[in-house]
Amino acid sequence: MVSWAKLSNRTYIWNYVTNFCHYVAPFPDWHVLVPNLRYFAQHGVKGVFEEGTYSTRGGDLVQLKDYLMARALWDPTVDDQALIAGFVSGYYAEAGPLIKEYMLAIEAGISDSGYYMHECFEVDAPFLTPKLLLSAASAMTAAGKAVALSDERFVRRVDEAGMAVMYVALFRWDELTAFAASEALPWPYNATKRPQFDEFKRRYEQVGITMLDENGHDIEWMEEALFGPRPLPLPTSGALSTAAASSGPVSSTHQPRSTHSRRDR
């Protein structure tokens, strides 16, 4: 950046601010959004395009991130910590301190692991340790209880915020339940995976999410990934021979995610 500033005062940046392989998964970049924009402004950057979950609603604390980016793009000298504190308190009401607890837990995962969080990583990324996930999930469960009797808008906001860690937990369910049992840690979710998935699906539909990644995988894909393909309905006896003749083999495998880097574009 320093070298570019010596060559041009008309630099424009296209920046990625989401995990394109898992839109809903934790993506703790809120603490660097404003400092990054401040740094860009100090080094001759004239414009920044921040690309997030452009193809659907949803994502990890996207309302907070949009607010931070909007304020810093207008004025890069703003105090990011004051903005975060004010937004979390106002937007999540009584759950604000617990949302902050979730944020600090996820941030600590990055700093403790030294993981470089690029634009496409899986739900078993090194910073998403079982202990961290359980701590974050407990904070979000407590956040839900904190606003249970509040205005419906706060309930919905906290519901959406809790989806990120719940998404990862569903994909790593057996690992996390075993870890919680071995460490005698409280389990923050339903006892079994199916009702917890149903709760995730309710929130998915409530938020209006239409896809879970840039490749377009949706909630039906997720359900099949977690529980296997649904059994095909039995044909009526008169249609049995026709169905057998017209249907091809049924595969139980899932289409793998694309592993190409967006940098290859």
What residue segments make up the domains of the chain, in order of their start? 13-228
User: Is the CA virtual torsion 104, 105, 110, 113 positive or negative?
Assistant: positive
CB count in 10 Å sphere of residue 141: 18
For the stretch 161-187, pLDDT in tens is 999 999 999 999 999 999 999 999 999
Amino acid at the residue 163 = M
Q: Tell whether the model's pLDDT for residue 252 goes beyond 50.
A: no
For the stretch 211-248, pLDDT in tens is 999 999 999 999 999 999 987 777 765 554 444 444 44
What is the value of pTM for the model shown?
A: 0.87
Tokens of 101: 């607890």
Tell me the residue ranges of DSSP E strands in 35-154.
45-51
Residue listed under structure tokens 């902050």: 100
